[in-house]
Chain A
Amino acid sequence: MWFKAPESCNCIEPQLPADELLVKYQYISDFFIALAYFSIPLELIYFVKKSAVFPYRWVLVQFGAFIVLCGATHLINLWTFTIHTRTVAMVMTAAKVLTAVVSCITALMLVHIIPDLLSVKTRELFLKNKAAELDREMGLIRTQEETGRHVRMLTHEIRSTLDRHTILKTTLIELGRTLALEECALWMPTRTGLELQLAYTLRQQNPVGYTVPIHLPVINQVFSSNRAVKISPNCPVARLRPHTGKYMPGEVVAVRVPLLNLSNFQIYDWPEVSTRSYALMVLMLPSDSARQWHVHELELVEVVADQVAVALSHAAILEESMRARNMLMEQNVALDLARREAETAIHARNDFLAVMNHEMRTPMHAIIALSSLLQETELTAEQRLMVETILKSSNLLATLINDVLDLSQLEDGSLQLETTTFSLHAVFREVLSLIKPVASVKKLSLTLHLASDLPAYAVGDDKRLMQTILNVVGNAVKFSKEGSISISAVVAKPDSFKDARIPEFHPVPSDSHFYLRVQVKDSGSGINPQDIPKLFTKFAQSQAVTTKGPAGSGLGLAICRRFVNLMEGHIWIESEGIGKGCTVTFIVRLGIPDRSNESKLAFAPKVLGNHVTTNFGGLKVLVMDDNGVNRSVTKGLLLHLGCDVTTAGSSEECLRIISPEHRMVFMDVCTGLDGYELAIRIQEKFKKRQDRPLIVALTGNTNKVTKENCMRVGMDGLILKPVSVDKMRGVLSELLEHRVLFEAI
């Protein structure tokens, strides 16, 4: 209440005593307001100092000022209840004015500041949300990492063994542990493939042989996808234990496990083969746990199923290879045994044959020898006939024995061909000469045709070749009653080998070998084409041979074939039929003798010449001849004998180049007196006789005068032209030994 003081009295009239209570209460309230007003800023300052992050200090200062001033106002108000002086009024006015100013400013400032403060709040909320989200994600990652760890551990356990049983058992155990399952079971397909049989379980030790048909819809559903599929706990594969829980059985998940089927294992088809068989893995969460299958758990199950498949396939492959190895080992042992038995048998046979050979031959020889001797004595016609028969039969028997022994040698490969260089013509001529008598007696004509390109000489076993040809020709003669027999021998060309008749024959062409093809055609009794394969079989007689016809031992052709095979060839028979004759053809491989072989046999022994030239190694000689051709020839001759030759074309040149090193001088004396003159001059040149080379005259003149002249001038030798290599060799040897040689004229 404002009262204007009358004079200088600034007192204000007090109020009526009835308002004194009211005034007292106002007084007290104002005091407390002031107190509060003063303490709030202090508190603010205190807490702001504590916090240090508060960004609006200036605002606080303002607020503080505002509050302080308000408090001051209210405080000063305390004095205005009583009579107060003008000063107090002034102060009060000042305070109020200040307060008004500050509060207006503050009000204005707050307009800017409060939105900021509010937004701070929103940001705080946003960050809180973000933090919550990150927390969630971290939780997820952790679970994933957990899962990964579990998978790795499971995989490690599963793959650490190659035993199928252990793999499966371990899988179930580890899965059960990791996922805290109530039950885990594995159903394998049966042999028939129509049912699934309970193979392994986690909790039950010995699963009773439950089977379920494989074509249940739920199973098909699981098999058709490679994901883990949730199935109903009531389906047959999941109803493994009696329901013990009170409420809900735990959720069940099934996943397929691909099985490797070894019979159709294809490396490049893995894993897309559609006709694969699967096993079924069923996993049950504990009942009454209200647990649910989480995505990461399903993923874990799928991964484990794949790993199990891989591990099982490895185990299967290992089993298979072990089995195969065992089988091979058994086979090996059996083969070894068989081989040893065969060897023993062969040894036994060889021993037998060796013994029989000797034992059989001795009596045979005795019979043959004595029968021959008997033939020489005086016998009656009847006796002679008997002895002849005995001889014939024993000869036949001896041949048979020999053939058998030969064949057995051929068969066990102990026969070796001897290789020599021989004349092909000679072989054929000899065969011809052996067969001709027999053929002429039977009035068969025998012709031999040798191709012109046939080498004169060949390398091979001539005895066996002759035996073969003889055998074949002999057969031809034997089985022909009339007609002709033709033998032809040619060099087989490579294109003729592509004969359909000899499909297995693959000749190898080479420069040092050739193939000889011999064909013997006869116009005899012929052979039934059906019997032809049997002909080469040992001891088989052809039925077509008439009883009167000659009997063969049945071994001849077999032996021929062995010989021909040894000579890397082939032999075959063709016949159009009975009475139409027969053609026997064989091809053998023979070597071509090289030049040194040839020369060894027939021609000039050039080889020998080369050996002796070393005797004159380096003998220095001088050849003087004014005829260039003659000079070259003589030089060549002496070079060939190994001498060191110098030539001179004239006497002057000869004198110039002659030296004590020359042991001999060959000079041509056909050209007049030059030679003699030269001889004298040479002798003058060399005082001592030992240093002088031997002077030898070469001349074509065969008159005695030349010889006398040579001797007169003191030459050491005279040789008549033409001089052959051998002659010169002899001349040189003679001259070196005796230092003089005058050829007789």
Chain B
Amino acid sequence: MEVGQMQRQWLDYTRSLFIEGFLDGQFLQLEQLQDDNNPDFVVEVVSLFFQDSHKLLNDLTIALDQKSVDFKKIDAHVHQLKGSSSSIGAQRVKNCCIAFRNFCEEQNTDACLKCLHQVKQECCLVKNKLETLFRLEQQIMAAGGSIPMMELSF
């Protein structure tokens, strides 16, 4: 497959991610921050996010497993997760977190559990999507091409 085709594939895939709501404008901001001084910025930040989120989700799972649920702590964790996800532009994760927080305020354990499950799913999904995207980028770079910039308006 030649470079032009791969680039078009990358563009189409990225577009789909935005259209389906996996990513939002913040992700584009991240891409803008990637330059020659910082060539792997996006990959680094995204990896950091997934590490962080993994830990947070574990903590959340443990916390919600307790007999007496500490909603303050859960709220703090979810707040963290929300902050991180919004920083990288993982829109669906962020939305889930917002919903999660509401249920935390209501102190609704079952709903929280459901939310947690959903958040985990969303994290997984966005992780796969981003991994695919990064793989495509690597292929393009290996073939000697360069990553095209995304248009901001659609």
A242 in the interface (beta carbon within 8 A): no
Min Cβ gap A616→B in Å is 13
Interface residues of B in 19-54 (CB under 8 A from A): 25-26, 29-30, 32-33, 35, 37-38, 41, 44-45, 48-49, 52
Interface CB pairs A-B, < 8 A, 23:
A453-B4, A598-B148, A602-B151, A603-B151, A604-B150, A604-B151, A609-B32, A627-B80, A627-B83, A627-B84, A629-B48, A629-B52, A629-B84, A630-B83, A633-B45, A636-B30, A636-B45, A639-B37, A640-B35, A670-B79, A670-B83, A671-B79, A700-B86
Min Cβ gap A114→B in Å is 117
Please, which residues of chain B bring their CB within 8 A of the CB of A447? none
Min Cβ gap A483→B in Å is 35
B96 in the interface (beta carbon within 8 A): no
Min Cβ gap A599→B in Å is 6
Please, which residues of chain B bring their CB within 8 A of the CB of A234? none
Please, which residues of chain B bring their CB within 8 A of the CB of A627? 52, 80, 83-84, 87
Min Cβ gap A600→B in Å is 11
Closest A residue, CB atoms, query B36: A610
Query: Which of A636, A668, A722 has the most B CB atoms < 10 Å from its CB?
Result: A636
Closest 4 CB pairs of A and B: A629-B84, A640-B33, A636-B33, A633-B87
B142 in the interface (beta carbon within 8 A): no
C-alpha spacing A549/B83, complex, angstroms: 75
A637 in the interface (beta carbon within 8 A): yes
C-alpha spacing A70/B25, complex, angstroms: 162
C-alpha spacing A205/B130, complex, angstroms: 110
CB of B52 within 8 A of CB of A628, answer yes
C-alpha spacing A254/B76, complex, angstroms: 127
CB of B86 within 8 A of CB of A722, answer yes
Contact of A722 among B5, B26, B48, B79 (CB under 8 A): B26
Given contacts A610-B35, A632-B48, A636-B38, contact A722 B151 (CB under 8 A): no
A738 in the interface (beta carbon within 8 A): no
Query: Which of B84, B88, B150 has the most A CB atoms < 10 Å from its CB?
Result: B84
Give the A interface residue count (CB, 8 A).
30
Given contacts A603-B149, A606-B149, A725-B33, contact A633 B88 (CB under 8 A): yes
Of the four ranges (under 10, 10 to 19, 20 to 34, 35 or more), the interface on chain B belongs to 20 to 34
Given contacts A604-B149, A636-B41, A722-B87, contact A453 B49 (CB under 8 A): no
Please, which residues of chain B bring their CB within 8 A of the CB of A636? 30, 33, 38, 41, 45
Query: Which of A598, A604, A627, A640 has the most B CB atoms < 10 Å from its CB?
Result: A627
Contact of A599 among B30, B32, B79, B149 (CB under 8 A): B149
Beyond A668-B83, A723-B29: 14 further Cβ-contacts under 8 Å?
A595-B148, A598-B148, A602-B151, A604-B151, A627-B80, A629-B84, A629-B88, A670-B79, A670-B83, A722-B25, A722-B86, A724-B25, A725-B29, A725-B32
Given contacts A595-B146, A604-B152, A670-B83, contact A455 B38 (CB under 8 A): no
Closest A residue, CB atoms, query B145: A595
Query: Which of B4, B52, B83, B88 has the most A CB atoms < 10 Å from its CB?
Result: B83
C-alpha spacing A636/B29, complex, angstroms: 10
CB of B84 within 8 A of CB of A637, answer no
Interface residues of A in 643-702 (CB under 8 A from B): 668, 670-671, 700
CB of B44 within 8 A of CB of A632, answer yes
Min Cβ gap A267→B in Å is 53
CB of B45 within 8 A of CB of A632, answer yes
Binary CB contact string for chain B from 130 to 154 against chain A (1 if under 8 A, 0 otherwise): 0000000000000000101111100
